Amino acid sequence: MEVDKSRKIISLGIEGSANKIGVGIVDQDGTIYSNPRTTFITPPGTGFMPKETAEHHRAKVLTIIKQALEEAKMTLDDITVISYTKGPGMAGPLSVGAIVARTLSQLYNKPIVGVNHCIGHIEMGRVVTKSENPTILYVSGGNTQVIAYSQNRYRIFGETLDIAVGNCLDRFARIINLSNDPSPGHNIEQMAKLGSRYIELPYIVKGMDMSFSGMLTHIEELVTGKKTSQTKKQQQEQSGKMQIEETYSKEDLCYSLQETIFAMLVETTERAMAHCNSREVLLVGGVGCNVRLQQMMGIMAGERGGSVCAMDDRYCIDNGAMIAYAGLLEYKFKGQTGMRLEECTFTQRFRTDEVDVIWRND
Amino acid sequence: MEQSELIDAGGVAPQITKQPEQLNLLSQGAEGRLFLGDIFGQVCVIKERFQKNYRVPQLDAKLAQQRINQECKNMARIRKFGVPTPALYLIDEVGRKIYMEYLGKHAYTVKEFLYQLKSFDHPILDQMVDKIGTNLAILHTNDQIHGDLTTSNMMIKPKVPLGLQLSTREEDKRITASEIAESGTLGDVYLIDFGLSFVSGKIEDKAVDIYVLKRAFISTHPGSEDLFDRILDKYREKAGAQGLKIIAKYKDVEKRGRKRECFG
Ligand SMILES: Nc1ncnc2c1ncn2[C@@H]1O[C@H](COP(=O)(O)OP(=O)(O)OP(=O)(O)O)[C@@H](O)[C@H]1O
Ligand SMILES: [Mg+2]
């Protein structure tokens, strides 16, 4: 379908699948006119729950839409298509975006497109970095996937066999009681910089798949084990037997956890690259913001004669613009039509490889 | 005695092969760099697990050591059960290298073979299904987990016409996948790459092994679901009573994968 070049397609995208609510406005070249968002932050030792997160999004969404339009110096009349995250994600938070998008679509008579969240990260990443056909490592709170494109699908070559990397990091942060502000991952990263002693942790890779839950159990045992061993130490001192107990500093734990988990991610990504004869890597998802992970990935890709696409907030962290852009592609290549209203639902489970990638023909 | 007067006493180790830069690179896998080299005048494949600078040296050394050991031990172990694998010639733990049989320039990875053949229902594939299914069943019946089953880690060593076989001329062409297919004989299917392999009797481990293969198969060869199912049928037929349990568990693992919460 050829697009009328004289008129720009402008897409407004609403993202609210997890703890961030964001609205972005983009055009078909990937130019971002505005992209505000806010994050629902919970106290240390707690995670974000669906109900409270949805309440947060509901309270903020309209203000953020207004802000996005103001920053872009646009009104809803300038918008060609409305995009929203259809899934995957938590039902409550997802429903906020879907309902607001449907209402706007009806009120202003605009076409509407529901977007796969993961595809949003990937397509925004491709347009921002101008990377044609990278191997993608998608690492976030709910996802750990090694993805490569072939025949109109983003195919999953490797993934976690149990919990997601981000989830593992978040739960680890709770075990050692780190703050959730701005994010557990960020705080682990900062603390890891102060660590120096590498503590051996379970390293579980099965081909291009990996497992993280054993790691958490192991660390939990180390941490709680330390507590009991301190009492044991007292007992030993009382009984006159002196024994030096191993202690693990938070810094060393953060350092060792990162080094181990990221090595697993880099290894499986490299295996997929070798398997697919690919040289470029695109890191997407919140965990992709981690500088150490980027650095490790860079070394690996460099040694293969390839490179990692420069990391960028526009596609790494959840935001409205990436949803707007992926929605725009779908709209443009479907002959400039949106979805039927009854298709505009939301769904907690929506796999990356379910989406028919009509906008690529390589 | 002056330093310069010393000469090498003639041990084999320092002389067995050329330096990597003098060797032909066969492939750069995930961890291994594979070279075509020679050992005592015999052609061989040298798999070097070079240092990975992205990970901490302590972890790197541990993994390299562990995987060289697993690869050597299990490659030899599997051969005993009658599953074709390259013969192991030499282990150089210090140099992180292993020397093994070269399957020849006519050998194809199953991946390459399927890419060239461009068909998932050519009659020659009956033989492939048969051999892969049987190999996997033998592996699992003997509590051997491969750990990285993909179509890159299985190789077809075809039967080639004598003329082509005997020719050492570099310019003589390699047999094509369709020539193999038309000949009506596939040849042997070898399993390679045992770095992630281990011995375990657990149903779960065997089921994950199959799951890993399924995922690699389907994502590398879109549309090959039926072909994979045929391999699984053969596996079930050959794996005996435990085969049914493994397949049931595999379906479980797969369901877990589909159901996995997935939010950004
Ligand atoms: N014995 C052999 N003869 C001919 N070709 C081989 C042989 N072994 C390996 N190859 C080729 O080299 C490729 C890579 O080998 P292999 O799978 O052992 O290494 P790798 O994938 O790097 O290993 P790992 O997954 O343990 O890091 C194979 O896919 C195959 O094409
Ligand atoms: Mg391999």
Where along chain A do its domains lie?
5-124+317-354, 133-315
Mean per-residue pLDDT, A288-296: 94
Asked if residues B83 and B191 have their Cβ atoms less than 8 Å apart, the reply is yes
Nearest to A275 among B220, B222, B264 (CB): B220
Report the nearest atom of ligand 1 relative to the CA of B31. 27
Range from A4-8, A155-159, B60-64, B208-212 carrying the lowest mean pLDDT: A4-8
Say if B58 is an interface residue toward chain A (CB within 8 Å). Answer: yes
- B242: β partners: none
Q: How far is A305 from chain B (nearest CA, A)?
A: 11
Mean per-residue pLDDT, A322-333: 97
Closest-approaching ligand to the CA atom of B110: 1
Express each pLDDT in A128-144 by its tens digit: 999 889 999 999 888 89
Helix, coil or strand: residue B190: strand
pLDDT at position B6 is 65
pLDDT at position B20 is 60
Ligand 1: residue whose CA is nearest its atom 17: B193
Ligand 1 mutation pick, B23, B24, B25, B26, max ligand atoms within 8 A of CB: B26
Chain B residues with CB under 8 Å of A307 CB are none
Question: Alpha helix locations (H) across chain B?
Answer: 57-80, 110-117, 124-141, 162-166, 177-183, 203-220, 225-259
Ligand 1: residue whose CA is nearest its atom 18: B193
Query: Higher pLDDT residue, B164 or B100?
Result: B100
Verify whether the Cβ–Cβ distance A121 to B31 is below 8 Å: no
Residue B195 tokens read as 């770095």
Range from A238-252, A347-361, B38-52 carrying the lowest mean pLDDT: A238-252
Express each pLDDT in B221-241 by its tens digit: 999 999 999 999 999 999 999
Verify whether the Cβ–Cβ distance A259 to B148 is below 8 Å: no
Distances (CA, A) of B148 to A150, A232, A242, B32, B145: 21, 43, 47, 14, 9
Say if B257 is an interface residue toward chain A (CB within 8 Å). Answer: yes
Using alpha carbons, select from B139, B7, B11 the residue that is nearest to residue B78: B139
Range from A42-56, A69-83, A279-293, B86-100 carrying the lowest mean pLDDT: A42-56
- DSSP code, position B86: P
Per-residue pLDDT at B60 exceeds 50: yes
Helix, coil or strand: residue B155: strand
Interface of B with A in 65-104 (CB under 8 A): none
At B13, the pLDDT band (50, 70, 90 cuts) reads low
Express each pLDDT in A236-281 by its tens digit: 555 555 444 567 899 999 999 999 999 999 999 999 999 888 999 9
Range from B58-62, B98-102, B159-163 carrying the lowest mean pLDDT: B159-163
Distances (CA, A) of A112 to A97, B171, B242: 12, 59, 51
Check if B130 is active-site: no
Mean per-residue pLDDT, A226-244: 50
Ligand 1: residue whose CA is nearest its atom 31: B109
Task: State the catalytic residue, choosing from B8, B130, B148, B226.
Answer: B148
Q: Which residue of B has its CA nearest to A161?
A: B257
Examine domains A5-124+317-354 and A133-315 and report if their fold is the same: yes
With vertex at residue A361, the alpha carbon angle to CA A357 and CA A362, rounded to the nearest 5 degrees, is: 115
Residue B4 tokens read as 């310069």
Interface of A with B in 181-200 (CB under 8 A): 198, 200
Q: Is B146 in the pocket of ligand 1 (CB under 6 A)?
A: no
Architecture per CATH, A5-124+317-354? 2-Layer Sandwich (3.30)
Distances (CA, A) of B71 to A352, B100, B171, B263: 34, 11, 33, 37
Verify whether the Cβ–Cβ distance B54 to A89 is below 8 Å: no
Say if A58 is an interface residue toward chain B (CB within 8 Å). Answer: no
CA–CA distance, A249 with A268 (Å, rounded to integer)? 29
Report the nearest atom of ligand 1 relative to the CA of B193. 18
At A362, the pLDDT band (50, 70, 90 cuts) reads confident
Interface of A with B in 121-140 (CB under 8 A): 121, 140
ipTM surpassing 0.95 = no
Q: How far is B191 from chain A (nearest CA, A)?
A: 14
Best B54, B198, B214 residue to mutate vs chain A (most A CBs within 10 Å): B54
CA of B104 to the centre of ligand 1 (A): 13
CA–CA distance, A146 with A273 (Å, rounded to integer)? 10
Per-residue pLDDT at B19 exceeds 70: no
Sheet holding B88-92, edge to edge: B24-28, B32-39, B42-49, B97-100, B88-92
pLDDT at position A243 is 47
Fold of A133-315: Nucleotidyltransferase; domain 5 (3.30.420)
At A5, the pLDDT band (50, 70, 90 cuts) reads very low
pLDDT at position A231 is 46
Binding-site annotation: residue ranges of A for a divalent metal cation? 117, 121, 138, 318
At B17, the pLDDT band (50, 70, 90 cuts) reads low
CA–CA distance, A346 with A349 (Å, rounded to integer)? 9
- DSSP code, position B20: G
CA–CA distance, A324 with A17 (Å, rounded to integer)? 14
Residue A258 tokens read as 């990162």
CA–CA distance, A195 with A257 (Å, rounded to integer)? 11
CA–CA distance, A360 with A150 (Å, rounded to integer)? 10
pLDDT at position A240 is 54
Asked if residues A154 and A353 have their Cβ atoms less than 8 Å apart, the reply is yes
CA–CA distance, A184 with A162 (Å, rounded to integer)? 20
Say if B196 is an interface residue toward chain A (CB within 8 Å). Answer: yes
- Rounded to the nearest integer, the mean pLDDT of chain A is 90
Express each pLDDT in A56-110 by its tens digit: 999 999 999 999 999 999 999 999 999 999 999 999 999 999 999 999 999 999 9
- Residue A127 CB neighbours (<10 A): 20
Mean per-residue pLDDT, B156-171: 77
CA of B13 to the centre of ligand 1 (A): 24
